[in-house]
Structure 1
């Protein structure tokens, strides 16, 4: 209780089980998804995903960019389907956050490391809720 776990940064060796043996396979272990799985397993009530920006934004880098302080799962899914969160950018973070929130354990928070303290207090960051 009252611990902060910082782990699951990827870098593991992906394997499959075949004929009662573990066999190495070529794959990428996504650190955001691994973190979401870890958070579920330890029954954390908040998944924090750190990135290079203080808040998630739609229309990123465009004149009509809009930072989001919160999203429901339904809103996050809509933005994903609309292509707002590319695979090589915010997409995996949103995907992992959504999977964690769907598990019913709690909320997800996406923010930058330099804004983490303020984000925990609800002053910045993007919360993804059921």
Structure 2
């Protein structure tokens, strides 16, 4: 099977942990062991990952310079793809005892320059703050902010991904048996101009939506959306909460889940599964079990 595994933010950084290289590498080592189990079970693997805290940190560092010297979000996204991809690549090679080739690919993703998301920023990036500090930074740096749980964070535009022009390169690597790490942070957002040329834009694409698009364009058999929650829960956050282990696309689309957490994952799972593939949502450490249908939540077109 060809499996696309999307690592949630917890694969690199859990809420409240310091944003240090050591912390992220320690978390990636755990992720690499779970991903290696998929490869050892005989499957081909493509890995995607988030970059919200990392791209936010780079943007903060850029704020120390003059406004005309700061790099735009598409360039910062490319930087994080290389930075995070390097750590995942190295630890996955170690977990596989260097028996399979692993490669990281900077991945461009086309979006619509007229997407309404550019007028309504919703994508969280960067660290969390108390409200007063977030408001102070927003005033000083021209940010837009929104509440994230009991904290506040910067929000930026998150346009819908339309096409992955680098898909041919990914396919060539897969044909050679390479484990591919790509579309990190949702990919580098670009627009196609009237003359056919492309140009990066100030945005961050949702990683789960980009992963679903990637899985569809590759013709993958399965999409795994890996996080720190064991499954999709009905009535989450209440005394009546209970895990749901199997959902049809129709039933899944009827569920009302938080937009800032499980909602985008379930939407991405539906987008992929409605074309006949299998989507799985659950804990990173259960990756292979989710693929085999013994853990997490499985989403499919039919029962």
TM bucket normalised to smaller = 0.7 to 0.9
Structure 1: stretches of 5+ with no match in the other structure: none
Q: List, as ranges, runs of 4+ consecutive aligned residues in structure 1 with deviation greater than 6 Å.
A: none
Q: 1:67 to 1:42 in 2, by over 3 A?
A: same
Aligned to 1:14: 189
Shift of 1:118: 2.5
Task: Check whether the contact 1:32–1:49 (CA below 8 A) recurs between aligned residues.
Answer: yes
CA distance in 2, matches of 1:111, 1:119: 7
Residues 88-122 of structure 1 deviation map (CA, whole Å, 9 limit, x = unaligned): 01011011111101223x11001111122332332
1:107 aligned to 2:283? Answer: no
1:58 aligned to 2:58? Answer: no
Aligned to 2:95: none
Aligned to 1:4: 45
Alignment length, in residue pairs? 125
CA distance in 2, matches of 1:38, 1:12: 10
Task: Check whether the contact 1:54–1:125 (CA below 8 A) recurs between aligned residues.
Answer: yes
Task: Check whether the contact 1:9–1:34 (CA below 8 A) recurs between aligned residues.
Answer: no
Where do 1:20-31 residues align within 5 Å? Answer: 20=195, 21-31=197-207
Output the TM-score relative to the length of structure 1: 0.86
Secondary structure in 1 aligned to 2:243?
strand
CA distance in 1, matches of 2:274, 2:292: 23
Q: CA RMSD in A?
A: 1.6
Q: Which has the higher contact order (CA 8 A, sep 6+)?
A: 1
Secondary structure in 2 aligned to 1:14?
strand
Shift of 1:11: 5.5
Aligned to 1:118: 289
CA distance in 1, matches of 2:209, 2:236: 22
Structure whose alpha-carbon radius of gyration is higher: 2
Structure 2: stretches of 5+ with no match in the other structure: 2-42, 49-182
Between Structure 1 and Structure 2, the one with more helix by share is: 2
